[in-house]
Amino acid sequence: QVELVESGGGVVQPGRSLRLSCAASGFTFSNSGIHWVRQSPVKGLEWVALISYDGGNKFYADSVKGRFTVSRDNSKNTLYLEINSLRVEDTAVYYCAKDNIFGVATALQYDGMDVWGQGTTVTVSS
Amino acid sequence: DIQMTQSPSSVSASVGERVTITCRASQGIGSWLAWYQQKPGKAPKLLIYAASNLQNGVPSRFSGSGSGTDFTLTITGLQPEDFATYYCQQAISFPLTFGGGTKVEIK
């Protein structure tokens, strides 16, 4: 079945780094743009980053620009989020999700984030 | 950034009732809007895409309408499994943004 599975979350101290992974199955990963979205009780749902199907385009929220790096390995059907200089306010559940923007086909309408992972929790605390 | 404002933030309703949730964008987004349902401890689930299209497998009691800046999600005939939090989200420009959510509670 179509699935995204995140991993790599944990409890980390402020200023440290972490790498999250998102493993895809059941669809042609290399055709899809994939997002990272996070959710915390304080900020609700917050879009973090998008990487295009081929990795050639990357977009970031201002709150993470310069600290987070999104990448993908299409040969492994896996997406990554490298998080540096972690802050307390980065504490959240991190989801990966796919939609149809910046996929291999031009999006003529927005088809929504139709597949989400189960989320991985990042807690930043000293 | 485009701000997405949902109202109400919460609503109490009984099984069988009709519930309407509104989402207003701070600038025009055409039909580049999706609606999601989220239950506690779970990832969001896509309900409506392109403002008014029902995602495969979603019951027909859910419907979406609107374009430009004003959008509506309607649940006609609320069912016990519909008690959840609902979010709108725009995708016309970066950063993508979500509404603050509407919690549908049992009356």
Q: What is the pLDDT of residues A18-74, one digit of tens each?
A: 999 999 999 999 999 999 999 999 889 999 999 999 999 999 999 999 999 999 999
Query: Prior bond to B80 cis, omega within 30?
Result: no
- Interface contact B95-A62, CB threshold 8 A: yes
| Chain A residue with the nearest C-alpha to that of B48 | A112
Interface list for A 19-78 with B (CB within 8 A): 35, 44-47, 50, 59, 61-62
What integer best gives the mean pLDDT of chain A?
97
What residue ranges in chain A does DSSP mark as E strands? 3-7, 10-12, 18-25, 33-40, 44-51, 58-60, 68-73, 78-83, 92-99, 115-116, 120-124
Beta-carbon pairs below 8 A across chains A and B: 65
Q: Provide the pLDDT for residue A50.
A: 98
